[in-house]
Structure 1
Amino acid sequence: MAAQPEITQRDLRNRSKEIMDAVQRGQAFTVTRDGHQIGELIPLRRRRRFVTRQEFAAMSRSAPGISLEAFRADQEAAADQEMHDPYAR
């Protein structure tokens, strides 16, 4: 993995628009003060809300098989099967 470019605190202050535009495009930076690394400026990961049908199908092809019997047994073991009346004394 390539090292992130270093920028000084002064560069960040003086070139903030240019640097923030680069971060928005995916670039990360290490910020320095007095020659010492003090932090990282990294883009946020964007969560995808939807997956296309084709992506889902591709992911599903490599998924492990599921035993329906084992799945039901796990559900039975985890669920409380008793009916409880919350108003009973």
Structure 2
Amino acid sequence: MSVQPEITQRDLRNRSREIMDAIQGGQSFTVTRDGHPVGQLVPLRRRRRFVSRQEFATMSRAAPDIHLDTFRADQDATADTYLDDPYAH
């Protein structure tokens, strides 16, 4: 895990464009005021819309096994088991 560079409140004000460009490029920063950390600037995760077949296959091989009976028991324990229509009047 890499250490985030610290920037002062003044740096943030004076170099905002440069800092925002770095954040957009994936860099994170810790903002300080009077030498004390007061916040973090981190890039937002971008939602991917497409995963290649190769990547999906790789992720699937690394996924834990699903035990059908355990999965079903978990569903039954959390799902509403009433057969009545809750919207019927």
TM-score normalised by L of structure 2: 0.71
Return 5-14 or 44-53, whichever deviates more.
44-53
Q: What is the RMSD of the two structures over their aligned residues, measured on CA atoms?
A: 2.6
Q: Do the aligned partners of residues 11 and 64 (structure 1) sit closer, same or farther apart at CA in structure 2, a change above 3 Å counting?
A: closer
Count of aligned pairs: 85
TM-score normalised by L of structure 1: 0.71
* Matching of residues 1-89 of structure 1 within 5 Å: 1-66=1-66, 70=69, 74=73, 78=79, 80=81, 84=84, 86=88
Q: Do the aligned partners of residues 34 and 54 (structure 1) sit closer, same or farther apart at CA in structure 2, a change above 3 Å counting?
A: same
Q: Structure 1 unaligned segments of length 5 or more: list them.
A: none
Structure of higher CA gyration radius: 1
